[in-house]
Structure 1
Amino acid sequence: MIYTLTLNPSIDYVVRLEGFQLGELNRTISEEKFPGGKGINVSRVLNQLGMKSKALGYIGGFTGAYIEQYLQKERIATDFVKVKEDTRINIKLKTGQESEINAKGPSITEHDLQLLMDQIRKLKGEDLIVLAGSIPATLPETIYEELVKICSEKGARFVVDAEGTLLKKILPYQPLLIKPNHHELGDLFHVTVSSPEEAIPYAKKLVQMGAKNVIVSLAAKGAILINENMSLRAEVPKGMVKNSVGAGDSMVAGFLAAYDRTSNIKEAFRYSVASGSATAFSMGLCSKDMVEELLPHVQIREI
């Protein structure tokens, strides 16, 4: 079973305006509401690609109920820990360029934390969990490390999509996959990474540090995949970028969906790049039809 964990989910409230004037009345052209959070995005894309998963994490209040009901309408299984305060609302303001206002999220108690730990302790060797996104301020910064320790003890595989120190600390536990973008990769090693050639040596260092597979996305410049046995580079399909939110999460979901079916890393990488591109070319998350339409245009070669 694939599980996704979103510690600080949100309702993403997307509003479009022709322009925005500070201090004035502004009227929207359109508004949309979606469940937000990196793990939730992975579950939603997996669902589009025909893969079942169960969404875990913390929700609370009327906003949390909205997220749970939305996912259940999409036939995505959920097992959230309910907290007292409301799940946050994040505002995505689109006025020709994207601006975001992200709320801090609800408080998580020690009791809430133990309930989540109990869920993770139930994982089995055949399970896989995706840990993705930010950590609420009221949880310890070591939470990801504590969770992957439990996964290792249970023999469960795990994927981590996090930044900086959070990512470095889990590498010794050998995640199946990590997927930094080139900016995040550069931040990890205090360098500037702007091309696949510059990314390769640092991705190899992450493999040496414990990651089984490393995908680095470089926007229009493509992506690379590095593991102990191969180094691959993908050219991304051509298209108009309409949306950057969820593209990285779609890459994770695409990789897992294809790898589960084929156990072929190269094919999983191709599906990953097609899924990320399909989301980037859409107003929301990708559809299976669009992913499969883009697959033949993803060119992969060994490097």
Structure 2
Amino acid sequence: MIYTITFNPALDYIVKMDEFNLGHVNRSNNEFVYAGGKGINVSIVLNNLEVKSKALGFIAGFTGDEIERRVREFGCHTEFIKLKEGMSRINVKIKADVESEINGGGPDISSEALEELYKKLDTLTAGDILVLAGSIPKTMPTDVYERIMERLQEKDVKFIVDTTGESLLKVLKYNPFLIKPNHHELGELFGVRLNNKEEVIEYAKKLKDMGAQNVIISMAGDGAVLIDSNGGVTTSNVPKGVVKNSVGAGDSMVAGFIAGYLNSGKIEDGFKLGVATGSASAFSEGLATKDYVYELLEQVK
């Protein structure tokens, strides 16, 4: 089974308008509401690719209920922990002449609720995949990813970690099955500016040397790079399309990788389907659909 964790899910309220005038009444052209969060995005796209997963995490209040309803509406299995106080956050995203965002803080997550999550994770068994994605809320221990991976270290669970900065560097000692920073995040990890694909490969290999089994670096319009567990390097182009939405593209790449890898057992197939799936979300108003993914897959070289 595949499990995803979203510690701080949200309702994303997206407002579209021609221009946004600060300090004045603004009227939108269109509004959309989505259940947001990196792990949730992975579960939704997996479901679109006909791969089952279970979404874990914390929800609270009426917004939490709506998040769970929407995730289930996509056909995903959920096992969220309902917090007794607070409400899940609402993120307002204004898409106008200049894009702006207001992200909510989210509810406090108690030590009791975290312990409940640990107990759910204790049921994972060898061969299960656990996706740890996104930032860590301020009310949680900053080393929670490490705690989870340490706790499950003897279970032979495959960890996929999609986070950045110190949170990523600190989990490399647990040999995650896959990590997926983009090229900007890769440069920030080492305090350098990466100017070309050769430099991206050089520093991606450093992450493998530090413990990651497989490393994918996404480079937006310049394609992507895979460093596999044998040290092999694979690069890809990007399918042709118009970018409409950057939200969820990286999460979609993770979902595509999992689906492709499970289909054949080959890392390269996961990489290829990941590129197509990330592109399908980037070229769509919402998250990638199966038909569009496989249409773009024919362009991935």
TM-score by length of 1: 0.97
Is 1:259 matched with 2:261?
yes
Return the offset for 1:228. Answer: 3.5
| Amino-acid identity (%) | 53
Retained in 1: the 8 A contact 2:254–2:274? Answer: yes
RMSD: 0.9
Paired residue for 1:158?
Answer: 159
Paired residue for 2:39?
Answer: 39
Paired residue for 2:62?
Answer: 62
Unaligned runs of 5+ in 2: none
Is 1:134 matched with 2:135?
yes
- Cα-to-partner distance string for 1:191-220 (whole Å, 9 max, x where unaligned): 012432110011001111111110001110
Letter in 1 for 2:33: K
Retained in 2: the 8 A contact 1:204–1:227? Answer: no
Return the offset for 1:98. Answer: 2.8
Unaligned runs of 5+ in 1: none
Q: What is the correspondence of 1:103-122 to structure 2 with a 5 Å cutoff?
A: 103-122=104-123
Is 1:249 matched with 2:251?
yes
Q: What is the correspondence of 1:2-81 to structure 2 with a 5 Å cutoff?
A: 2-81=2-81
Return the offset for 1:238. Answer: 1.5
Paired residue for 1:286?
Answer: 288
- Cα-to-partner distance string for 1:267-301 (whole Å, 9 max, x where unaligned): 111100000111110011111111000011111xx
Separation in 1, partners of 2:195, 2:102: 27
Letter in 2 for 1:19: E
Retained in 2: the 8 A contact 1:151–1:158? Answer: no
- Displacement over 3 Å in runs of 4+: none
Separation in 2, partners of 1:202, 1:98: 32
Separation in 1, partners of 2:55, 2:22: 38
Is 1:203 matched with 2:232?
no
Separation in 1, partners of 2:195, 2:12: 30
Retained in 2: the 8 A contact 1:195–1:218? Answer: no
Paired residue for 1:88?
Answer: 89
Return the offset for 1:97. Answer: 4.2
Letter in 2 for 1:73: E
Retained in 2: the 8 A contact 1:195–1:221? Answer: no
Separation in 2, partners of 1:290, 1:200: 29
Separation in 1, partners of 2:98, 2:182: 20
**How many residue pairs were aligned?**
299
